[in-house]
Structure 1
Amino acid sequence: MPTVSFVVIAYNVERYIADCLQSLQNQTNPDFEVVVVDDASTDSTKSVIESAIQNDSRFSLIAKDKNEGAHLARRTGVSHATGKYVVFVDGDDRLQDTACEVLSSYASGRNFDILRFGRTVVPHGSANQDTALQEERSFNLHTEDMHGEDVLRSVFSEDFGTRNTWSLIDCMFDGEFVRSGFAATYDEPLGRMQDSYEFFVLASRAKTMRFFMEYRGLRYNLGAGVSGSGLETLQKFEHGHTGIHSSMNAVLRYAADSGDDNMTRCAQWYRHVVLGIVGREWVMRLTETDQIAGMRSLRRVWGDENTAYMLLDPLTARAQWFVDHDAVPSDADPYRRWLTLLNSLDLNGISDTVIQQRVNGFLALKGKLDKHEFEIKQAKIAEQQERYRQQLQLEEQRRVLKTGTPIRRVVDAVFPEGSERRNLLRRAAHRILHR
């Protein structure tokens, strides 16, 4: 039995897979095996794998003839892993050359089901260095070891303040534990965020999770796969959020099947997190035009109640910005468009108390913004009326200067300017005024 089994999942990663496998061949501790699962790639990934491992007996390739997603690929791979410990590797990432040596040495003599280690994040594609550093900080949080129900709660709740991630690829698992854990997962394809379901199952069964964050054993290529940011097509967005929906439902179903209160509470917390993630992606990844079609797609898959929750995050944040900055949204502002979409949803009889609270909170904030907008409009109307009054007054003054008052016009007619009578009148007026 090898000390470590590396289970590599690969799908259309021809650009990265050779580097990934090379990082495993370079391990300073040779006591390992590598199980590579090609999930029916349509590019040259499979041939690159075959070429890279052909002379290394520690490597084996499972080439699937049908693409079924990362969950079933990982499930297949771990069922063939025989090591004392198991480490999952994505085909577009790589491990440090010392990973097998350092992790197995640290694990020796320590009892755990899950051992989380650190990662270095490298930006690719649309990802930038600032985003990579932010992601790196979030994945390398130091925390105390967790035991029992706290393992699940440390990832799927905010009970401990800082939350651990549900990522599988920066963990070493006890071999027997992870094999039995994956055997307990659903034998069905899942879409994006399938690792959250897998980690939920494993964390719910774990007795101990330890942390070795000072060792950055994973080199994670941000933006190489589905990670990163930037606009995407409506079709890709629909495929992504539909896959996330399947993974979320798997978590909810697994928790419901267990009948465990802690799992049920954690699953509901996770559901709200997922809704927020999908809502942010709808805002960031779709153009203004595609957002409207994307909202129809969200309603069809998730229903009005969940879709409302997705909209409430950006709407609330935008409304709060206007209130804080003593401003009002223009007709072209996204706030107007998002509010129209929210108003198109059926929000009667919301069953989720958290969503109802969010709706009530937004409506209260919207009331403040509406009042503020009304006051600003009234002030502008009053200002316009005052400017109009002043304009009329100025025009009257100009007219008087030009044509004179009615009395002045009579005097000018009876006593023409320059006449003797006009001069006599002026002298008489002068004597009267200076008595």
Structure 2
Amino acid sequence: MPRFSLIVPCFKVQGFLPECLDSVLTQSFGDFELIAVDDCSPDGCGAILDEYAGRDPRVKVLHLPENVGLGRARNAGMPHATGDYLFFLDSDDTLTPGALRAVADRLAEAADPDVLVFDYARTYWWGGTRRNVLAHVLTEAGADTFDVARYPQVLDLLMVVWNKVYRREFVERNGFAFPPGYYEDTPWTFPVMLSAGRIAALDRICVNYRQRRQGNILSTTSRKHFDIHDQYERVFAFVADRPELARWLPYLHRKMGEHCLDILAKPDRLPPADKAEFFRRTARMFHAHRPEGARVDGEVAVLEGSWTAYRLRRQASRAGRETARRAAPVRRAAAARARTGWASLHARRPLDENLVVYSASSHRGALGDPAAVYDKAREIAPRLRGVWVVRDADAAAQLPPGTEHVIVGSRRYLEVTARAKFFVNDVNWPGTLGKRPGSVHIHTHQGTPLKYMGADLLDKPGARLGFDVPQMLRRADRWDYSLVANRHSELVWERAYPCHFTSVRTGSPRNDVLVNGGSGDFRQRYGIPADHTVVLYAPTRRDYQRGGHVDRFDPAGFAAELGEGYTLVVRLHPSLASGPARGMGLSEPARRGILIDATDEPRVEDVMAAADVLVTDYSAVMFDYAHLDRPIVVHADDWPAYRASRGAYFDITAEAPGHVSGSFRELVRLFASGAWRDEESTRLRTEFRARFCEYDDGRAAERVVRTLLLGESMPEAPLRLPGQATGRDALTSA
């Protein structure tokens, strides 16, 4: 008996079907059967299915004699299922790599619940990917099983059949089946979820939900949308036969009203002549199933009135939006004039010689080099007033207590930036910020560059998609000083940013803590055993992939290969922190303690200091980590593609800080053999440090404060000697 029976109904999807089938048949978990139902498709679906069945015995094909629709095609497949769990996959969607293994592991952990709900991502025809916006519902569900009474938030998730797996015995015992018609998922999903005694959640993207350019069948204009009424009647009938579910009637009553009004509001769903009938039928149904004493308010209250009243309300709403749209440019112009006037008013006042404005990573908070300079200024120059620019209240809440800050674009922001003498940032300030004569702009950058930057991107159209290089250079014209940590960076910045600034050999302020041996409490906070070897995996984004995320390998699989005595810590690139990358095999293994997700750690320096070895690809974090003089492994399985799309200033595979792996198996072998910390690794790291750790002596932040903010004299950073140790004693091959 297989673990899963995947039921895939097929109708007019020949262009997408092979990708769907391949995503299933190439899963690392192979204990499944795939029951493909050819719903009398007029295209080549049947032949494609037969071809796959001839190659793989796990594929069973049913050819229906007539087209019965999506729901009944699923029903046709169920009697042939022998697996423990039913998995309904639409034939134009795909499983993500490792999805079945993750689902199987979660089912085992939850002791075979009735239903397991997992996450999905919308994949768009133009290449974009967007994670389910309610993914937090799965995260907050926790590890225990529940029913809808204990965790009703699960009903807020998209009520579809394909984001769940169902215990077959549970389905058969309750006689669940799909009705004919549109919206067939509704009378399946609500009864199933309300009946399930044990539900589990999996915070992992398991299905890529394809968004077709012209939408799915529910996007077509048809009277078949009237089927929604029959589908909800089936839901209400199901509940009426089970008095113990009566408590859910108010919820279902409101949900039905919202669902029907959503269909009515869509301009391309119903023929215009049928909209009044649809409204009246919805209103009658809404009235007939209104629970006694139920409160009707909000959007669904319109169903208490007439079609005419609803239509007038919609017209008024559209007119209001149109008026607001036309007025918006006027309001924006007025606001811009007010902003300009307010800024000009304060620009007439003298510069405040002791005011320093800081920002980092596009106003995300007190981070990186600017944070190190800020901390040092508070220590040795308390007369300097430091003010942080943050993007919103959430970023402000992450600042250390008592930190003075302003929200970008606010009146206080305009006042502070008009008066400040000094500006410290690791990216460019907004174009609206003017540079007053006498003000000093200090640009710290974000580490040593490997990939092309600035003007060098002009011949890399893929890497600068949506990036205005001339505008960026105009903003860089405001720089007075550019901080450099090595001669490589100095040469790159002066080439990539052909502007009138002075390069200052200060070193990187954020690396002072690494050079001076600071370690933080990362290990203690995450409960990492003292005798464990901590492996930090820090991949960067890819410019050849829309969205930037590419699965190089499964982190949970890497953690398993490392085995006992190792702790894997994963830190994604900040630009990927809120995208689908977290749901592609990171959030769920972190919850289960297989690895640690350190993506949200505000201080990457603390994460690096806690690690005994770094595994990265082409991230600039390797240049910072090298100051610890600990082993580094470069995983470069797509180096040719990366270099061709983004450009690189040197070949990291030929001038690496340690061993280079060209495949996942090579990476695993490096750790299994111990070669990751052998003499060759030490030699390569020594040469790398001699080149890229030149000016970091642990006093970079002090050097910036004294020489650039206070105007004092202080020697430039001395050149570091090859092999000079810093921080904790380096690991050796011994």
Q: TM-score range by the shorter chain?
A: 0.5 to 0.7
Residue 266 of structure 2 is aligned to residue 253 of structure 1: no
The CA deviation at 1:124 is 2.8
Q: Which residue of 2 aligns with 1:171?
A: 164
Cα distance in 1 for partners of 2:96, 2:233 equals: 35
Distance 1:226 1:243, change over 3 A: farther
Question: 1:75-117 deviations in whole A, cap 9, x for unaligned?
Answer: 2222321112222100111102312222112221313211111
Cα distance in 2 for partners of 1:69, 1:151 equals: 35
SS of the equivalent of 1:169 reads coil
Q: Which residue of 2 aligns with 1:294?
A: 274
Where do 1:223-302 residues align within 5 Å?
A: 223=212, 227=216, 232=220, 236-239=221-224, 241-259=225-243, 260-281=245-266, 283=267, 285=269, 290-291=271-272, 293-298=273-278, 302=282
Where do 1:7-406 residues align within 5 Å?
A: 7-111=7-111, 112-124=113-125, 129=128, 133=130, 136-138=132-134, 141=137, 142-144=139-141, 147-150=146-149, 153-156=152-155, 163-181=156-174, 183-185=175-177, 188-189=179-180, 191-213=181-203, 215-223=204-212, 227=216, 232=220, 236-239=221-224, 241-259=225-243, 260-281=245-266, 283=267, 285=269, 290-291=271-272, 293-298=273-278, 302=282, 309=303, 316=313, 319=316
SS of the equivalent of 2:83 reads coil
Cα distance in 2 for partners of 1:326, 1:29 equals: 56
Q: Is the 8 A contact 1:256 1:264 kept in 2?
A: no
The CA deviation at 1:26 is 0.6
The CA deviation at 1:297 is 4.9
Q: Is the 8 A contact 2:20 2:93 kept in 1?
A: yes
Q: Given the two structures, how large is their TM-score scaled by the length of structure 2?
A: 0.37
Unaligned runs of 5+ in 1: 157-162, 330-435
The CA deviation at 1:202 is 0.8
Q: Percent identity?
A: 20
SS of the equivalent of 1:87 reads strand
The CA deviation at 1:228 is 9.0
SS of the equivalent of 1:143 reads helix
SS of the equivalent of 1:207 reads coil
Greater helix proportion: 1
- Highest RCO, 1 vs 2 (Cα 8 Å, sep ≥ 6): 1
Cα distance in 2 for partners of 1:167, 1:151 equals: 21
Cα distance in 1 for partners of 2:80, 2:214 equals: 25
Cα distance in 2 for partners of 1:263, 1:229 equals: 27
**Does 141-150 or 45-54 show the bigger shift?**
141-150
Q: Is the 8 A contact 1:151 1:204 kept in 2?
A: no
Output the amino acid matched with 2:146. Answer: H
SS of the equivalent of 2:254 reads helix
Question: 1:219-263 deviations in whole A, cap 9, x for unaligned?
Answer: 110127854997x5xxx3322x12323322221222223233124
Question: 1:267-298 deviations in whole A, cap 9, x for unaligned?
Answer: 312211222221222x3556xxx52x132552
Q: Is the 8 A contact 2:2 2:32 kept in 1?
A: yes
Cα distance in 2 for partners of 1:155, 1:192 equals: 23
Question: 1:377-431 deviations in whole A, cap 9, x for unaligned?
Answer: xxxxxxxxxxxxxxxxxxxxxxxxxxxxxxxxxxxxxxxxxxxxxxxxxxxxxxx
Q: Is the 8 A contact 1:151 1:203 kept in 2?
A: no
Cα distance in 1 for partners of 2:232, 2:151 equals: 16
Cα distance in 2 for partners of 1:303, 1:257 equals: 23
Cα distance in 2 for partners of 1:300, 1:316 equals: 16
Q: Is the 8 A contact 1:152 1:266 kept in 2?
A: no
SS of the equivalent of 1:119 reads strand
SS of the equivalent of 1:197 reads helix
**Does 137-146 or 68-77 show the bigger shift?**
137-146
Q: Is the 8 A contact 2:92 2:210 kept in 1?
A: yes
Q: Given the two structures, how large is their TM-score scaled by the length of structure 1?
A: 0.61
Q: Which residue of 1 aligns with 2:720?
A: none
SS of the equivalent of 1:216 reads strand
SS of the equivalent of 1:150 reads coil
Q: Which residue of 1 aligns with 2:423?
A: none
Cα distance in 2 for partners of 1:296, 1:325 equals: 24
Q: Is the 8 A contact 1:185 1:201 kept in 2?
A: no
Distance 1:153 1:272, change over 3 A: farther
Output the amino acid matched with 2:8. Answer: V
Question: 1:55-77 deviations in whole A, cap 9, x for unaligned?
Answer: 21111112211222222222222
Output the amino acid matched with 2:230. Answer: S
Unaligned runs of 5+ in 2: 287-299, 327-734
Output the amino acid matched with 1:175. Answer: R
Cα distance in 2 for partners of 1:253, 1:247 equals: 10
The CA deviation at 1:266 is 3.4
Cα distance in 2 for partners of 1:122, 1:72 equals: 26
Q: Which has the larger radius of gyration?
A: 1
Distance 1:294 1:247, change over 3 A: same
Output the amino acid matched with 2:79. Answer: S
The CA deviation at 1:47 is 1.6
The CA deviation at 1:123 is 1.2
Cα distance in 2 for partners of 1:222, 1:228 equals: 11
Q: Is the 8 A contact 2:52 2:59 kept in 1?
A: no
Cα distance in 2 for partners of 1:37, 1:115 equals: 23
The CA deviation at 1:150 is 2.0
Cα distance in 2 for partners of 1:85, 1:192 equals: 25
